[in-house]
Structure 1
Amino acid sequence: MAALRRVARGGLAGVTGAAVGALAQFLLVVVVTRAYPVEVAGAFFTSIALALMVAGVAKLDAGNGLVFFIARAETYGYHGVSGYVRAALVPVAVVATATGLLLWPVLGVLALVPPAIAVADVLLAACRGFGSMRPTVLLDGVLLPLSQLALVAAAAMAGLSGASLPLAWALPYLPVVALAALALRGRTPRTPYLPGTARDLWRHTAPRSAAGAIQAVFQRLDIVIVAALGGPVQAAVYTAATRFKVVGQLAGQGLAQAAQPRLVKALADGDLSRVRELYQVTTMWLVLATWPIWLGYAVLAPWLLRVFGPGYASAVPVALVLAATMMAATGCGMVDVVLTAAGHTTASLLNLTAAVTCTLALDLALIPSHGALGAAIGWAGGVLVKNALPLWQLHHRYGLRPFGRHSLAALRPRTWAAA
């Protein structure tokens, strides 16, 4: 129960940060769609989607690998753990910087974003590995999106052209990196570098590096494809209608970041009953936190979409597909997190590959004739594949299910009070 309470506290903090971040990102989209023509808004959304997709590839998913090793090292007094931090940070910084330089002709100032995102991700992941969610919540969940909103809004209010938006959006990443480094510095014990540290880290992380790259592509590819096949107007409409999906993604991410170290330790100890409890309780928390949002969005979409302007009212079918898909996805729980915590990184890679393949096939078939709605259907197909495959694998290998007798623990007042 103590571990569950710690996850509850960390998860609640993560979800709170996710709520702040989601609101800030939603308002940023409102500001851009209201202040600039739909073509300019679509071009801006496409460019930041491409920058985030590149950054996601450059991260090499080293952060999750670092959490895995730091959480396990707790048993040994964190002996050699600073070596794991260096082994993760140096390759990521090099790859992200090289990628940014190569893409400068395409992305311009947004080429600064991949190195900053990748380094900050590793630093904040290391903090979570030590059991601290606060830096992730405050820096990535609150400071970054609020700063981006403030600078983009300031550019719009000053009457600056759309060309100024990428710089306003990118600048907040720099202080986030600096503050994340300071947050980790006080938590990492200085220990001697152990032979084989880098080899062990990257042998475990290599399949996840590929999976992380595919996941990054999966999250942002739809906007890029809509822009390529349907034009910037359809990209703007699709981005506006699907902006609410960040609520579910960030809520799940916040809860997963709190639960992942506990899952890794429980699986390392062979404590399957504790894994089952964590999985079922966190699934119920996800459902309780997000299903009311999706139901409300489905009902209110015709009115909510007017916030973006008169050109976005046609996106109601996209909103309905989004709501139904996210309810199905959250009902599966943190399936991929549990699967990778158990060490099945290759299976996770194959699952993501299947999901992206499904999305690409549906996008290419549907976007030319159905525009934003075709992209929504393609994304939905990929999400369902991405969740259904690990759901079956967890049940087949460990007998785990997202709902069961532990689901009721999520409804107990004392559990929430402990949070």
Structure 2
Amino acid sequence: MAALTLPRLPRLPRLNGSARGGLAGLAGAATAAAAQFAVVVLVTREAGQEAAGTFFAATALCLMAAGILRMDAGNGLIYFIARSRPFGYHCTSGYVRAALVPVGTLSLVTGVVALLSTPDPTVRVLAAALPVVVCADVVVAATRGFGAMRPTVLLDGVLQPVAQLVLVSAVVVAGAGSVPLLAAAWALPALPVLLLSAIWLRRRLPYTSYLPGTAHDLWRYTWPRSMAAGIQAVFQRLDIVVVAMLAGPVEAAIYTAATRFKIVGQLANQGLTQAVQPRLVRALAAGDLARARELYQSTTMWLVLLTWPIWLGYAVLAPWLLGLFGDGYASGVPVALVLAATMTLATACGMVDVVLTSAGHTGSSLANLVAAITVTVALDALLVPSCGASGAALGWAGGMLVKNLLPLWQIHRRYGLRPFGVHSLAALKSWRAR
């Protein structure tokens, strides 16, 4: 665990581990967000709008494919590794093998097929990197099942995004800023992340014989979430691809620039979620609703306190901030306003989908995401041809509201959980006392 402490946290001893892990995850997510934002600024300013839009659409397509192919195996491993903690992580190596073999095989086959079936050099570069990108994410996620945040912070939060920034900068400085070379610079850092996280996991994972039924147990829990994760990956980046297809790469570049601030606002959610998820799994598995309520309400308040100033500031400063990307990006101000308003409301719901899946309701999570992606696609098809980037923003906003409000209603109906309550007040008091 990173040796960082959150000053004057709520005086609830059981939250200390979550707070420290959340701060560590927050630090890693902040570094990643800053590096990714810098990459976008660099590409938009140096590559031109058309090349930038092509690059953003290609990498979004790669990340969409990776999100589908990893089949949420990482979160499945977190679930089973965290539950096996009282038993000394018995049989966890079998779960890791049960997750990586199908995920690695499927991503390798997909990458080879894509590599051989297209003449586009950018797509070929990303197809070659696809299996590494997929497996790196799964292995890093598995380390969090042990309650450890250090590998995620150092590898996923620091090494990969910083290396991407350095390599993309090197390509631009060398004057060889073609889209395929930019794609290669963006994809290459996934390789050391995979190798280093695999070494960390291997050293701490007790080797056990593979027991019959291990894969069945893992995928029985994970398969609904696998479909949901694929839809979630599509939901997160489909808008960029749709804008590029229906409105052209220039509009895609403007839309990507205006929505890149999502990373800044979402870093708190990412850091806290990574730390709290294993604890939520254990609390809900034990039927400890008081503990689950404590975790949910405290993290929701911290999310509000950390992100609302960001979104309100972005709404006010959007014209100036979008100017950082270069000439021609100020037209993305309406996109920025829709983004800020939507994320303000979504943050107030807290990590509702994490609570729902931690309780084992992966099927409900899947249904919610299907509804969200349906709304997004319908609105995009209706609005993007005439409104361009602004239409895509409205489509994304509609899907985002569905994605958050449906699970909020479900966890309240099933468990009586609300995003705000007595534990929110404790978090607020600690914030004021800092």
TM-score computed with the length of structure 2 as normaliser: 0.94
In the TM superposition, what is the alpha-carbon distance from 1:412 to its structure 2 partner? 4.4
Alignment partner of 1:20 is 2:31? yes
Whether contact under 8 Å (2:372, 2:403) holds in the other structure is: yes
Alpha-carbon distance change, 416 to 343 in structure 1, aligned in 2, over 3 angstroms: farther
Is the contact made by 1:27 and 1:149 (CA closer than 8 Å) also made in structure 2?
A: yes
What is the CA–CA distance in structure 2 between the aligned matches of 1:108 and 1:148, rounded to whole Å?
Answer: 18
Letter of the 1:173 partner, please give it: A
The match for 1:44 is 55
Q: Does 1:157 align with 2:168?
A: no
Give 2:140's aligned residue: 124
* Amino acid across the alignment from 2:281: V
Write the distance in 2 (CA, Å) between the matches of 1:416 and 1:373: 41
Counterpart pick for 1:330 among 340, 347, 350: 347
Q: Distance in 2 between matches of 1:217 and 1:52?
A: 9
Residues 332, 391 of structure 1: 8 Å contact kept: yes
Is the contact made by 1:8 and 1:416 (CA closer than 8 Å) also made in structure 2? no
Match of 2:184 among 167, 189, 194: 167
Closer/same/farther in 2, CA of residues 415 and 120 from structure 1, 3 Å limit = farther
Structure 1: gaps of 5 or more residues: none
Aligned to 1:202: 219
1:415 and 1:273, CA in 2 relative to 1: closer, same or farther beyond 3 A? farther
Question: Residues 5 and 415 of structure 1 are in contact (CA less than 8 Å); yes or no, is this contact kept in structure 2?
Answer: no
More deviation, 207-216/70-79: 70-79
Please report how far the alpha carbon of residue 416 of structure 1 lies from its aligned counterpart in structure 2 after TM superposition. Answer: 9.5
Q: Equivalents in 2 of 1:69, 1:410: separation in Å? A: 30
- Match of residue 6 from structure 2: none
Corresponding residue to 1:62 among 68, 73, 80: 73
Match of 1:7 in 2: 18
2:130 maps to 1:143? no
Rounded to whole Å, the distance in 2 between the matches of 1:370 and 1:190 is 56
* Partner SS, residue 310 of structure 1: coil
Match of 2:391 in 1: 374
What secondary structure sits across from 2:328 in the alignment? helix
Aligned twin of 1:391: 408
1:258-269 map, 5 Å: 258-269=275-286
Give the drift of 1:227: 0.3
Compute the RMSD of aligned alpha carbons. Answer: 1.4
| 1:281 paired residue number | 298
2:95 maps to a residue whose letter is Y
Secondary structure (helix, strand or coil) at the match of 2:100 reads helix
Listed as ranges, the matches of 1:184-203 within 5 Å are 184-203=201-220
Whole-Å separation in 2 of the counterparts to 1:159 and 1:172: 21
Shift of 1:414: 9.4
Question: Any conservation in 1 of the 2:133–2:187 contact (CA below 8 Å)?
Answer: no
**1:79 corresponding residue in structure 2:** 90
Figure out how many residues of one structure are paired with residues of the other and give that number.
Answer: 417
CA distance in 1, matches of 2:433, 2:228: 34
Mapped partners of 2:214, 2:140: distance in 1:
20
Shift of 1:255: 1.1
Once residues 218 and 421 of structure 2 are traced to their aligned partners in structure 1, the CA distance between those partners, rounded to angstroms, is 34
Tell me how far 1:370 sits from its aligned partner.
0.5
Aligned position for 1:295: 312
- Aligned mates of 2:303, 2:195 — CA distance in 1: 32
Contact 1:66–1:125 under 8 Å retained in 2: yes
Structure 2: gaps spanning 5 or more residues: 1-11
CA offset digits 1:30-79 (Å, max 9, x no partner): 11111111101100100000001000101000011111111111122211
Q: Residue deviations 1:105-164, cap 9 Å, x none? A: 251111133211221122112110001011011111111111101111111111113231
CA distance in 2: counterparts of 1:406 and 1:113, whole angstroms:
44
AA at the equivalent of 2:396: W
Inter-partner Cα distance in structure 1 for 2:80 and 2:345: 32
Q: What is the SS of the residue equivalent to 1:382?
A: helix
Matched, 1:111 2:127: yes
- One-letter amino acid of the structure 2 residue matched with residue 305 of structure 1: L
Q: Which amino acid aligns with 2:196?
A: L
- Alpha-carbon shift at residue 415 of structure 1 (Å): 12
User: Residue by residue, what CA displacement relative to the aligned partner does 1:230-270 show, whole Å, maximum 9, x if unpaired?
Assistant: 00000000000000001233321221111110000001111
- Cα displacement (A) at 1:2: 3.6
State the match for 1:237 in structure 2.
Answer: 254
* Aligned counterparts of 1:408 and 1:190: Cα–Cα separation in 2: 45
Tell whether the 8 Å contact from 2:136 to 2:191 is kept in structure 1 after alignment. Answer: no
Q: Report the equivalent of 2:5.
A: none
Q: Which amino acid aligns with 1:202?
A: W
* Matched residue SS, 1:16: helix
> How far apart are the structure 2 equivalents of 1:264 and 1:62?
16
Partner of residue 7, structure 2: none
Match of 2:422 in 1: 405
Q: Which moved more, 1:178-187 or 1:110-119?
A: 110-119
In the alignment, which residue of structure 2 is the partner of 1:33? 44
One-letter amino acid matched to 1:146: V
Letter in 2 for 1:410: A
Contact 2:140 2:194 in 1 (8 A): no
Alignment partner of 1:121: what SS? helix
